[in-house]
């Protein structure tokens, strides 16, 4: 297994929320203290096409959800209260 990496998307979202750049060490510490919500799985549809279910971790004190692709050893995204609010607003605009 290779070293865990941070995706560009994750780094951008982290900076938006915490106003600082994440370090891999800091993110690993947060993951260790987080609640495991969903495991990583490789799924296949009826045609045999692969789909990835990312591992999901929740850190209640920091109010974030972190998603990890363990096959690629990459932290993919961080979901924050602001991103959830932004997502809800986008959903509302689509309905109009």
CA 15, CA 48: separation in Å to the nearest integer? 38
CA distance 91 to 55: 24
Q: What is the pLDDT of residue 9?
A: 95
Give the pLDDT confidence score for residue 1 in this predicted structure: 53
SS3 track for 22-69: CCHHHHHHHHHHCEEEECCEEEECCCCCEEEECEEEEECCCCEEEEEE
pLDDT tens for each residue of 8-54: 999 999 999 999 999 999 999 999 999 999 999 888 999 999 988 99
pTM recorded for the entire structure? 0.79
Phi first, then psi: what are they for 63, rounded to 5°? 60, 45
If pLDDT is split at 50, 70 and 90, which confidence band does 67 have?
very high
Q: Which residues pair with 38 in a beta bridge?
A: 56
């Amino acid at each position: 297994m290779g070293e865990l990496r941070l995706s560009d998307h994750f780094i951008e979202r982290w900076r938006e929320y915490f106003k600082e750049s994440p370090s891999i060490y800091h993110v690993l510490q947060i993951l260790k203290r987080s609640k495991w919500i969903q495991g990583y799985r490789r799924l296949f549809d009826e045609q045999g096409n692969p789909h990835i279910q990312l591992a999901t971790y929740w850190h209640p004190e920091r109010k974030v959800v972190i998603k990890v692709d363990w096959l690629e050893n990459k932290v993919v995204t961080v979901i924050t209260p602001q991103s959830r609010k932004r997502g809800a607003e986008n959903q509302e605009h689509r309905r109009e």
